[in-house]
Chains A and B, each alone.
Chain A
Amino acid sequence: MVENIEAIAGTDGMDSKMIQFRQVNKWFGSLHVLRDVTLEVAPSEVAVICGPSGSGKSTLIRCINRLEPIRSGEIFVDGMAVHERNADLIRLRTEVGFVFQQFNLYPHMTALENVTLAPIKVRRQKPAEAAALGRDLLAKVGIAEKAGSYPAQLSGGQQQRVAIARGLAMQPKIMLFDEPTSALDPEMINEVLEVMIQLAKDGMTMVVVTHEMGFAREVGHKVIFMDEGQIVETAPPEQFFKSARNERTLMFLSKILSH
Chain B
Amino acid sequence: MWLFYLDSLQDALPFFLKGLWITIQVAGLSLVMGTGAGFLLGILRSARIRALNLLLAAYVDLIRGTPFLVQIFIVFFILPEWGIHLEAFASAVLSLTIYGTAYICEIVYGAIRGIPRGQIEAAAASGLRWWQQMRYVVVPQALRPILPPLVGQYVLLIKDTAVVSVIGLTDVTRVGWLTVQRIPNGILVFGLVGLLYFLICYPLVYLSNRLEARLKVEESTL
Interface residues of B in 120-174 (CB under 8 A from A): 121-129, 132, 136-137, 140-141
Contact present for A93 and B121 (CB under 8 Å): no
Q: Indicate which residue in A102, A108, A152, A167 contacts B140 across the interface (CB closer than 8 Å).
A: A108
Which residues in A have their C-beta under 8 angstroms from that of B118? Answer: 100, 102, 104
Question: Closest Cβ of chain B: how far from A203's Cβ, in Å?
Answer: 22
Which residues in A have their C-beta under 8 angstroms from that of B55? Answer: none
B8 near A: Cβ within 8 Å?
A: no
Interface string of A112-143 (1 = CB under 8 A from B): 00000110011000000000000000000000
Q: Could you tell me how many residues of chain B have their Cβ less than 8 Å away from some Cβ of chain A?
A: 18
In the assembled complex, the Cα of A20 lies from the Cα of B123 at a distance in Å of 24
Given contacts A100-B118, A100-B122, contact A93 B136 (CB under 8 A): no
Contact present for B124 and A67 (CB under 8 Å): yes
A98 near B: Cβ within 8 Å?
A: yes
Q: Indicate which residue in A94, A107, A108 contacts B127 across the interface (CB closer than 8 Å).
A: A94
Contact present for B128 and A108 (CB under 8 Å): no
A170 near B: Cβ within 8 Å?
A: yes
Contact present for A117 and B121 (CB under 8 Å): no
Which residues in B have their C-beta under 8 angstroms from that of A163? Answer: 122
In the assembled complex, the Cα of A159 lies from the Cα of B116 at a distance in Å of 17
Closest to B121 in A: A67
Question: Closest Cβ of chain A: how far from B79's Cβ, in Å?
Answer: 42
Q: Indicate which residue in A102, A107, A108, A122 contacts B126 across the interface (CB closer than 8 Å).
A: A122
Contact present for A117 and B129 (CB under 8 Å): no
In the assembled complex, the Cα of A90 lies from the Cα of B119 at a distance in Å of 17
Question: 6 smallest A-B Cβ distances: which pairs?
Answer: A104-B122, A118-B126, A98-B125, A104-B118, A93-B127, A122-B127
Chain B residues within 8 Å of A, Cβ to Cβ: 116, 118-119, 121-129, 132, 136-137, 140-141, 222
Supply 20 A–B pairs (Cβ within 8 Å), ascending by A: A93-B126, A96-B125, A98-B122, A100-B121, A104-B119, A105-B122, A106-B123, A106-B137, A106-B141, A108-B141, A117-B128, A117-B136, A118-B128, A122-B128, A122-B129, A122-B132, A152-B222, A163-B122, A166-B122, A167-B126
Chain A residues within 8 Å of B, Cβ to Cβ: 65, 67, 90, 93-94, 96-98, 100, 102, 104-108, 117-118, 121-122, 152, 163, 166-167, 169-170
